[in-house]
A and B are shown apart, each in its own frame.
Chain A
Amino acid sequence: MRKRVRHIAILLLAAIVVLPCHLFGKEIDAKQIIFSHISDSYEWHITTWGQKHITVPLPIIVIDKSWRLNVFLSSKVENGALYNNFKIADNGEFSGKVVEIGQNGEISRPIDISLTKSALALVINSLILTILILIVARWYRRKPMTPPTGFVGAMEIFIMDINDNVIKPSIGENYKKFAPYLLTAFFFIFINNVMGLIPLFPGGANTTGNIAVTMVLALCTFFVVNISGTKQYWKETVWPDVPLWMKVPLPLMPLIEIFSVFSKPFALMIRLFANIMAGHAIILSLTVLIFITVAMGPAVNTSMTVISVILSIFMNCLELLVAYIQAYVFTMLSAIFIGLSQVGRKKVGTC
């Protein structure tokens, strides 16, 4: 083991000596690198080879002021180019977004439903997840009453663990009604988290670390909780069982309760977003560390590279754990909130 570590260190050292020297003296904008990865973009930047940017152009779909649908590739508006009155704003209020330039040069934002990097990653991950789960389901439909092996067996353990140990005890009696939603949410978050950790093309996008994605998930939980809430749940929210002076004349407790109805999904949204975004930011920072320290001379750079790689490996392992934990926590809290809205129904034991 120690021998292998030494080998890796020597290889890294060699790589640094051979590194193209044009990096020296060049100011590296770490913040820009990290934020450009974490935030969404209109094209999928894979790598820069020498001076050449290798990117996957993605379709931009915008509806302009006269309600016309415009679809074109992001390569058309690359580097601030103007296409059909559309361009990517480089500063101002809509920096980095597609803007429409009117006849008098005024800038406005069209309705933008472009298939951006995060959107494409979401679609790809959704496809992967759907195919995986449907393959497993098809296996079960084909061979009922046989114990599965291999991949299907692993998926069964995974699915049934969430179903039996998270959903069932948290919700209680009629958990079956909510299990499909919660299982979908769990696997959707999990696959997006894991795909975000893979640095190569179909992965590597920051999906669950984007607030729009977590917002939709949190809103789903919000609607499920409040639409399926029992009469007793609403009674406890609006008219909780506390001394009268806490409700009349100033509705202290009802205010707090109603606030918590909204704060719970909000916490879900922020928790998932912040965890995944922070994970991406840390891994990127550790990687960028190598290029920042280039300016400090070979000795510092080499040692920092070794440290950076070791820490990156550690962080990637940790993020793998976080990927699971955050999906688990989101599912468990959603299940608990649903369970709380099901007051008055019986509980069931776990197996």
Chain B
Amino acid sequence: MSLLTPDAGLLFWMLLSFGAVFFLLAKYGFPVIVKMVEERRAYIQQSLDAAKAANDKIEELKRESDAIIASARAEQTKILHEAHTFRDSIINSAKEEAGKLTSKLIDDAKKEIEQEREKSMKMIRNQVAELSVNIAGKVIRKELEGNDAHMDLIEKYIKETTSIKS
């Protein structure tokens, strides 16, 4: 049956056309296409990887900056706290000092006042004594002018005092 017996002429043409197609496509067709597609695929993969790496880097940097900010914030609170306590201590010590100083000043002033008072009291006493002696002297002199007995008595006392003194 001719259907199952290959025809020599057609074999020849088939070999020729398939050979030509194979030669052309295997040289200029399929390898070019496959190579280009694979290159593009590799390029896309590479770009994706690069983007992923960049993303990771950004994430890492963000984490780092967050950590830095957090530590800075902690530092700030610590410094503020320290400053607060330091200020308090300064104020307290200043208050104490001031208190001491004022009490000392007050004491000094008090002492001075006391001294001045005593001094003036002495003076006043002296003056009062002098005045009273003068007045008493004047009164006594008036009294005495008429009475010799008193004069004698005075003389006698004076003598006594001087004798006691000597």
Contact = CB atoms under 8 A, between A and B. Distances in A.
A184 B39 CA distance: 21
Interface string A135-157: 01100110011010000000110
A309 interface: no
Interface stretch (B5-13, B75-83, B108-116, B134-142): B5-13
Q: Is the interface of B mostly helix, strand, loop or mixed?
A: helix
Contacts of A159: 30, 33-34, 37
Interface string B1-25: 0111111111111110110111011
B48 interface: no
Contact of B17 (A96, A114, A116, A126): A126
B1 to A, nearest CB: 10
A137 B25 CA distance: 9
Contacts of B31: 179-180
A310 interface: no
Contact of A118 (B10, B33, B43): B10
B25 A133 contact: yes
B32 interface: yes
A122 B2 CA distance: 19
A132 B17 CA distance: 15
B26 interface: yes
Given A119-B9, A212-B11, A184 B30 contact: yes
B12 A137 contact: no
Interface residues on B, range: 20 to 34
B10 to A, nearest CB: 4
A25 B7 CA distance: 37
B6 A212 contact: yes
B94 interface: no
A180 B30 CA distance: 6
Given A126-B18, A277-B3, A213 B25 contact: no
B52 to A, nearest CB: 18
Contacts of B20: 126, 130
A130 B25 contact: yes
A233 interface: no
Contacts of B17: 119, 122-123, 126
Contact of B18 (A96, A118, A133, A216): A216
A96 B9 contact: no
A111 interface: yes
Contacts of A212: 6-7, 10-11, 14
Q: Which residue of A35, A40, A155, A216 has the most chain B CB atoms within 10 A of its CB atom?
A: A216
B9 A179 contact: no
A215 B4 CA distance: 11
Given A96-B2, A134-B29, A184-B21, A216 B34 contact: no
A188 interface: yes
Given A114-B9, A129-B25, 4 more contacts: A141-B32, A145-B39, A156-B33, A180-B31
17 contacts: A61-B9, A111-B8, A112-B8, A122-B17, A126-B21, A130-B21, A133-B25, A134-B25, A134-B29, A136-B29, A145-B43, A159-B33, A184-B29, A211-B3, A211-B5, A213-B10, A215-B6
